Amino acid sequence: MTAPEDLESRGTAVMGFAAGWYALALGNGLEPGTSAGTQLFDKELVVWRDASGASHVWEDRCPHRGMRLSFGFVRGNHIACLYHGWQYDEAGQCRHIPAHPTLEVPETIKVPTYASVEAAGMIWVRWDGEAAGQPPEDIAAVPVRSLYLDRAPETVAQLLAAGRAGSFETLSPGTFATALEGADLFLALQPYGAERTALHIARTGGDLPLKDIAVWAEELRASLEALPAAGLAPAARQPGAAA
Amino acid sequence: MSLVLHDYELDSDSYKVRLLLSALGLPYAKVAVNVHPGHEQRSPAYLRLNPLGSLPILVDGETTLRDSGAILCYLARLHDKEGQWLPADPVRFGEVMMWLFFAGADLAPATLARLHHMLEVPADAEAVGAASRRAFRIMDDHMTKRELEGFAWFVGDQATLADIALFPAIALSRDFGIDHDEYPALRRWMRRVRTIPGFITMPGIPDYH
């Protein structure tokens, strides 16, 4: 069995991204009492928000039978697995097993959790432990949409940095800024998997209607999926993806 | 008149009709058709009801209808006096019909992909999977923009036949290997569909408890 740390290091090395904080979702897109599955470097994660409004990022796997927890449901401040209803508290500790309701659940039944923060209207996970550095700055931002692309993360980052899909300022290896009709936009790149990328988009200035930005984002996605990758600079490898 | 639905529990098109019947609170008789493994829907008796050999089939007295989209429209026109599900307003009507045809045509690969995975119906798995993802992306883009303008449903400001007809393919997509990760607006919309009074599930769509 490979330790989680080894898996993460391998993932970041393969895709040319450093340890850092990566956006996984828009904060306002995850309602209290709901969960969403996602991936980072091909590793399945569940992002969920408890009834009190706090968000959590965990490994998306119930220790019981390996079912994705994101298929399950949130009850109060617990998340429950769809298969057999095992419930986990905010720290990932299993607290209730319906088939054995009187059982004092052993401390060893625990879901691996990740450090996460909400900043710039997005939910960020710390990747590769302490090497990730400081969490991203909580700049004022209005979340717009998340964009999912069938394209390798390093290719998307290079196309944006090279100005091939418009004029983007590279703030860090995983974050970008651009201007659109008087609005300032902030984009955070999520290396979803080897051939898949998410871009989380927020408006940081101006008052261009959010729907117009969403339409622009569809066109950006079409460009980024169609553009040839030939002639691009090597992948960025600086540490820290934070804004 | 008494309604008779010729139905198969695992058929997502039959589920659309069951869902609307439940939302409208209409009593009906359900005839379970042995689709798998019996292929009863293609027996001579069933081909007389529907020469296409598909389900669902609705029989209402002298009237026999096939095609879930047509059946949804018929039931809404006949029993939804307030016109919520199939609006009379020409623009709303047109928009609902646009999504009903989308559900019948552009989501057909998703229906086939699921049958291929579950019941080994022949299909080009890669092609139907890619076509399904294209359709789901179009749906997610639409609901993303709808949400940004303050709307909760595919058309207008309340649930319509569009929501009923579009729901099963994406709600069942994990049956054929497509997760909901890439469709955040559809994930939120699916939770809303679950709040429609009379909402029911089918095998593959979990009943949260």
Contacts of A146 in chain B (CB under 8 A): 184
The alpha carbon dihedral of B157, B18, B54, B177 has a sign of positive
CB distance B144–A145 less than 8 Å?
yes
Q: Give the chain B residue whose CA is nearest to the CA of A38.
A: B181
β-strand partners of A21: A126
Tell me the three state secondary structure of residue A15. Answer: helix
DSSP H helical ranges for chain B = 12-24, 44-49, 68-79, 90-105, 108-119, 125-148, 161-171, 184-193
Question: In this structure, are strands A94-96 and A87-88 parallel, antiparallel, or unpaired?
Answer: antiparallel
pLDDT digits (tens, 9 = 90+) for B24-66: 999 999 999 999 999 999 999 999 999 999 999 999 999 999 9
ipTM value: 0.94
* CA gap B5, A140 in Å, rounded: 54
* CA gap B96, B156 in Å, rounded: 9
* CA gap B93, B98 in Å, rounded: 9
Cα-Cα end-to-end distance for chain A: 34
In chain A the beta strands, taken as DSSP E runs, fall at 20-26, 34-40, 43-49, 55-59, 73-75, 78-80, 87-88, 94-96, 113-114, 116-119, 122-127, 142-149, 169-172, 175-180, 183-193, 196-205
Which token pair is B207?
């009943």
Residue carrying the six token digits 């890439």:
B182
How many CB pairs (< 8 A) connect A and B?
47
Q: How much is the pLDDT for A239?
A: 45
pLDDT digits (tens, 9 = 90+) for B152-197: 999 999 999 999 999 999 999 999 999 999 999 999 999 999 999 9
Q: Give the chain A residue whose CA is nearest to the CA of B151.
A: A211
Nearest CB partner across the interface for A214, out of B145, B206, B208: B145
Indicate the pTM of the whole model.
0.93
- Please tell me the total number of residues recorded for chain A in this structure: 243
Rounded (5°) CA angle A146-A221-A178? 75
Query: Diameter of chain B by CA atoms?
Result: 51
- HSE-CB for A209 with a 13 A CA cutoff: 9
Higher pLDDT, A12 or B37: B37
